[in-house]
A and B are shown apart, each in its own frame.
Chain A
Amino acid sequence: MKDTQAIIEARHVTMGYGDYVLQKDMNFTVNKHDIFIIMGGSGCGKSSLLRLLTGLNQPLKGDIFVKGINFTKADSDVQKNIMINNGILYQSGALFSSMTLAENVALPLQQYTDYSQQTIQELVSLKLALVGLAGFESFYPSEISGGMKKRAGLARALALDPEIVYFDEPSAGLDPISSKLLDDLMKNINQSLGTTLVVVTHELSSLLDIGTNGVFLDAETKTIIAQGHPKDLLKNPPNETVYEFLTRGKTEYVK
């Protein structure tokens, strides 16, 4: 799996809301099988960027290509097709509270595949087992903990074997152990299913552990101020902001 084929490309993307520009002229490429980290301080537009990549919002300027297709300018059928092939793990899991975990995971399968009912049930059990929730099929979201909700949300995101899975702060609100388990799970899924992961995270240990590529957004200059493997960025920080971020605010940065 050494092919470095681009799966997402952002070209001259400017994002914002109305007249309010969050980031200008962003250019980056996410390759297949990457674990791509979106870093940056609070409020620099990480969640907004995720909404652009998943098609929930439109960029003010520029284009986003997903698997070579211009996602931004494609017509709605094509966009929908791309969106179905994305898995998204929302911050709180976004499970449907009136459905059991099994029904939550089964929903996209029933909607978009022709699997038999039996197979759907087996697939649901498999996905739940993959995220460590075997046997929780008949539980409702309100009956499980926050960490388990995230795992269940991941199971649902993985239901259709997506090529790309997006995560918004997956470790927010989790204890270190749950957070580590989730990291391991993400790495496992990336390696065994070959899924590309795009992750917004603040968690230093996590992003250094799992990330294979990434961008660093800066709120002040409204641009991407660093790109590359998080570990390389830590070793050779291109500027003070990145250095401070990756070292938790150490300030003895020397050029």
Chain B
Amino acid sequence: MNMSFEQKQSQLVVNLTGSFERADNPSMKEALFRLAWDVQTQRIVIHAQTLGTWDSSLVVVLYTLKKIALERGILFQSSTLPKQLNSLLDLALTVDRKPPQRNDETPDFLEVLGTIGINTCQAIGRGLIFIRDVMGALGRFFTKRVVMRSVDFWTELDNCGPKAVLIVSLISFMVGLILAFVGAIQLKTFGAQIFVASLVTIGMIRIMGAIMVGIIMAGRTGASYAATIGTMQVNEELDALKTMGIPVTDFLILPRLVTLVIAMPILVLLADFMGMLGGAFVGVLLLDIPAGEYWKYAWEAFGLTNFLVGLFHGLVFGFVIGLCGCYYGVQCGRNADSVGIATTKAVVWSIVWMIVLTGLITYLCEVIGI
């Protein structure tokens, strides 16, 4: 930085020579600004007759100096600066818009607590209203008075059905495999490895099939619902729908929710089958159980009630994932960040609600004795 400065009585004289490109000297600048603030300084004079090339690193020094001069009401003499530099300084110092006042106070403890309480209540209220709206839309769906494009319905069905088959198959097969392995280690000690067949079958069809499909679909489909609808919010597409008088619940949420609720039990069926296949893989190939024997035990363990409870879980999870995905999509803010937040929330809350409802269903089954 080719800058020197000195205080001559009431004048602060700044000499600029040579070129200023990406010049930075924080300590020097600090000393300069301190002098500019000094009460003795009544005038700042810039000498720039031999100034070479310059960039913003010089402008920023002069800008700060001139701001200090303006604030203190002292003279800033810069007639030797290049014309463009002076006009740039003028441009920077023209205030044509003042930022609005903002409330930056940190709230006290009670206020924070109150805000959390109010927000929670509002969130519950919003959730309930959303569910009510969706139920209304479902009612219209069955009475055929709903604004929904059938092409959307089929696309969504394809997305959450056939396109999910591979991942669901793969993971359920693995889960069946793991269940069988873990069970086999324990059962072998009693010489009862044949019961691996029963263990895997009951485990998969009663609950594991549905849970695995639920988690896969929450991550795969619930997240995509939130991201798609959230991005539509960012692009003002949701606003466009509203002002056209087309309910978002009918147009966007119904095709997604209904197709997911249709697809989930079928996927659970697939998961059950693939899980049992995984179990048989371990049983027949690694534990040397004859295939016929294995299927006999598996079939004995296969209770219709267990199977139906599993499918019912799938149905409920379909609702949960569809509702959470669409809800957080609709509630999304208006920037890129909020799409990420919406997606995260959709997945996390889908899983939380699935677990809560699994507990509830299990308890109810206990009560009615199935």
Residues of A within 8 A of B (CB): 96-98, 113-116, 118-119, 122-123, 125-127, 129-130, 132-136, 138-139, 141-142, 148, 161, 181, 185, 188, 191-194
Look across to chain A and name the residue whose beta carbon is closest to the beta carbon of B21: A161
Q: Known interface pairs A119-B24, A126-B56, A129-B63. Does A97 touch B336 (Cβ–Cβ under 8 Å)?
A: yes
B88 close to chain A: CB less than 8 A: yes
Look across to chain B and name the residue whose beta carbon is closest to the beta carbon of A136: B99
Q: How far is the CB of B362 from chain A (nearest CB, A)?
A: 41
Q: Count A-B contacts at CB 8 Å.
A: 75
Q: How far is the CB of A90 from chain B (nearest CB, A)?
A: 14
Look across to chain B and name the residue whose beta carbon is closest to the beta carbon of A184: B91
Q: How far is the CB of B91 from chain A (nearest CB, A)?
A: 5
B95 close to chain A: CB less than 8 A: yes
The interface residues of chain B lying within 8 Å CB-to-CB of A134 are 92, 95
Given A126-B92, A135-B98, A142-B333; 6 other pairs, CB 8 A cutoff: A114-B24, A115-B22, A116-B26, A119-B29, A119-B57, A126-B60
How far does the alpha carbon of A181 sit from the alpha carbon of B94 in the complex, in Å? 12
The interface residues of chain A lying within 8 Å CB-to-CB of B63 are 122, 125-126, 129
How far does the alpha carbon of A193 sit from the alpha carbon of B86 in the complex, in Å? 11
The interface residues of chain B lying within 8 Å CB-to-CB of A161 are 55-56
B interface, how many residues as a size bin?
20 to 34
B163 close to chain A: CB less than 8 A: no
The interface residues of chain B lying within 8 Å CB-to-CB of A193 are 84, 88
Residues B87 and A116 in contact, CB atoms below 8 Å apart: no
B111 close to chain A: CB less than 8 A: no
- CB-CB contacts of B100-130 with A at 8 A, as 1s and 0s? 0010000000000000000000000000000
Residues A141 and B335 in contact, CB atoms below 8 Å apart: yes
Q: Known interface pairs A97-B335, A133-B97, A136-B99. Does A113 touch B87 (Cβ–Cβ under 8 Å)?
A: no
Q: How far is the CB of B333 from chain A (nearest CB, A)?
A: 8
Residues B56 and A123 in contact, CB atoms below 8 Å apart: yes
How far does the alpha carbon of A116 sit from the alpha carbon of B27 in the complex, in Å? 10
Look across to chain B and name the residue whose beta carbon is closest to the beta carbon of A137: B99
The interface residues of chain B lying within 8 Å CB-to-CB of A130 are 88, 91-92
Residues A122 and B60 in contact, CB atoms below 8 Å apart: yes
The interface residues of chain A lying within 8 Å CB-to-CB of B97 are 132-133, 148
Q: How far is the CB of A154 from chain B (nearest CB, A)?
A: 12
Contact of A181 among B29, B96, B99 (CB under 8 A): B96
How far does the alpha carbon of A117 sit from the alpha carbon of B49 in the complex, in Å? 30
Q: How far is the CB of B163 from chain A (nearest CB, A)?
A: 27
Contact of B337 among A98, A125, A127 (CB under 8 A): A98
B334 close to chain A: CB less than 8 A: yes
Contact of B99 among A113, A139, A188 (CB under 8 A): A139
Residues B95 and A192 in contact, CB atoms below 8 Å apart: no
The interface residues of chain B lying within 8 Å CB-to-CB of A98 are 335-337
- CB-CB contacts of B189-213 with A at 8 A, as 1s and 0s? 0000000000000000000000000
Which residues of B37-76 have CB atoms within 8 Å of chain A's CB atoms?
A: 55-57, 59-60, 63-64
Residues B84 and A115 in contact, CB atoms below 8 Å apart: no
Residues B26 and A97 in contact, CB atoms below 8 Å apart: no
B93 close to chain A: CB less than 8 A: yes
B309 close to chain A: CB less than 8 A: no
Look across to chain B and name the residue whose beta carbon is closest to the beta carbon of A122: B60
Residues B96 and A132 in contact, CB atoms below 8 Å apart: yes
Q: Known interface pairs A116-B26, A135-B99, A139-B99. Does A194 touch B84 (Cβ–Cβ under 8 Å)?
A: yes
Residues A192 and B56 in contact, CB atoms below 8 Å apart: no
